Amino acid sequence: MKRSTALAAALLGGLTSVGSIPGTAFADGGGPAYHDDRKEGEHHHGGEGAVFVQTNKAEGNTIKVYDRDEDGRLTKAGEYETGGLGGFTIGAPLDALASQGSLTYHRGLLWSGGLLPVTIAARGDLVYVLDAGGEGSVQGFTLNKGHLSRIENANRSLGLHNGNPPAFGAAPAQGKIDPDREFVLVSTKAANVMFSYEIGRHGELARNPVISDAGNAPFGFTFDTDDTLLVTESGANAVSLFELEDDGALDHIGPSVPNGQQATCWIQRVGDYFYVANAGTSTISSYRVNDHGKLELVNAVAADTGGGSIDMTTSDGFLYVQNATAGNVQGYEVHEDGSLKLVTTVEGLPKFADGIGMEGIAAS
């Protein structure tokens, strides 16, 4: 497999720390930052790629790289130091960072602008780091020819009054840029709200965010269309559909849709289907937005991972799942009807223990 040189960054210990690894994409947990003609997460089989897994080791964070063949199978390709240390939240049951999208690719070693960075949101040349510790904050950067530069007037406090490290339930879970690059959205578990910061002409952020009710402990989220998004409610073990209004407010579309599982936190789109990881029951549930624009549960247990399912990523129609207690990554082929077929498992990754373990996965 031919690959260009890229850099992987872990957002830990207050720094964006990097190490040289092979790769082809600049991605966050929600999909590629540099978009091609396919919509984010589009179902497509064929070609080769790579999967990147963040070990989050306390003594020195690393990224493990796996080559992906056209059938979705993974083989070891190397392990690379990021130059930073692993991180954790207090009282984490399975996922040390308590977030979605903690792995991306960029160049440089930078102060993130806050304490315990847990997510990178990226689209085009805009990159925003979500920090979970203390008050919580968002800091913006521009990406130019592989270099990150801080954006003036793009550091905003969330006012969460957390400790450092924060408690698991109090830590913000995800930051993401909407497809039109008009807002940075941040989900907060304990506050039950979503912050929407308007993005200015040069990437600066509005001084005051629009704050919207986002359900019971909102965790991960991803977009269906340019102005509709799905949000996991980890407190209700459900998923909700929202419309993003012109001013950044979120409007609930229909009722939340529960799945009967436990600890519904992470969400990943593959084609027309949305898969959520339920850490408490070690299962993957599937959803779709039907032809009438309503959210519906397709399969409460599309897959039983057996190992504490946490973060996920997608590549060419395959779904890759981190399993924290099993210390592995499983790869599933996504069929046209949304059903999943296990095609690969890689072992030997750090298992969650004593409050810390691997978290963060991306793919090219």
Q: How far apart are CA 281 and CA 203, in angstroms?
A: 40
pLDDT at residue number 13: 43
Residue 25 clears pLDDT 70, i.e. is over it: no
For the chain, first and last CA: distance in Å?
A: 12
Query: Chain-wide mean pLDDT for the chain?
Result: 86
Instruction: With CA atoms as reference, report the closest residue to 64 among 297, 355, 320, 264.
Output: 320
**pLDDT, tens digit, for every residue of 303-340?**
999 999 999 999 999 999 999 999 999 999 999 999 99
In contact, 241 and 224? CB cutoff 8 Å? yes
What is the enclosing helix (H) or strand (E) of 170?
A: none
In contact, 272 and 286? CB cutoff 8 Å? no
Mean pLDDT: which of 58-67, 79-88, 270-279 is highest? Answer: 270-279
Q: How far apart are CA 326 and CA 307, in angstroms?
A: 4
pLDDT at residue number 22: 43
Omega of the bond leading into 179 within 30 degrees of 0 (cis): no
Instruction: With CA atoms as reference, report the closest residue to 45 among 273, 333, 243.
Output: 333
Average pLDDT over residues 93-98: 86
In contact, 10 and 110? CB cutoff 8 Å? no
The radius of gyration of the chain from alpha carbons, rounded to an integer in Å, stands at: 18
* Domain hosting residue 161, numbered range: 5-363
Instruction: Return the amino acid letter for 161.
Output: H
Residue 33 clears pLDDT 70, i.e. is over it: no
Side by side, the strands of the sheet bearing 295-304 are: 264-270, 273-278, 283-289, 295-304
Of 114 and 198, the structure prediction assigns the larger pLDDT to 198
Cα 204 from chain centre:
23
Average pLDDT over residues 179-201: 97
Lookup result for tokens 């059938």: 71
Query: What CATH number is given to the structural domain containing 335?
Result: 2.130.10.10
Q: How far apart are CA 359 and CA 179, in angstroms?
A: 25
Q: How far apart are CA 294 and CA 38, in angstroms?
A: 23
**How many Cβ atoms sit within 10 Å of the Cβ of residue 11?**
31
Residue 211 clears pLDDT 70, i.e. is over it: yes
pLDDT band at 271 (very low <50, low <70, confident <90, very high): very high
Q: How far apart are CA 191 and CA 204, in angstroms?
A: 25
Residue 105 clears pLDDT 80, i.e. is over it: no
Average pLDDT over residues 88-106: 82
**pLDDT, tens digit, for every residue of 142-157?**
988 777 899 999 999 9
Q: How far apart are CA 43 and CA 336, in angstroms?
A: 8
List the single range of 54-68, 184-198, 250-264, 284-298 with lowest mean pLDDT: 54-68
- 114 φ, ψ (degrees, to nearest 5): -160, -160
Q: How many domains does the chain have?
A: 1
pLDDT at residue number 77: 94
C-alpha distances out from residue 222 to 58, 179, 362, 363, Å: 29, 10, 15, 16
Lookup result for tokens 């399993």: 323
pLDDT at residue number 112: 61
**How many Cβ atoms sit within 10 Å of the Cβ of residue 196?**
23
Of 42 and 330, the structure prediction assigns the larger pLDDT to 330
Residue 42 clears pLDDT 70, i.e. is over it: no
Instruction: With CA atoms as reference, report the closest residue to 177 among 237, 231, 126, 253.
Output: 126
List the single range of 93-102, 169-178, 198-207, 291-300 with lowest mean pLDDT: 93-102
Residue 20 clears pLDDT 50, i.e. is over it: no
Q: How far apart are CA 219 and CA 312, in angstroms?
A: 14
In contact, 152 and 204? CB cutoff 8 Å? yes
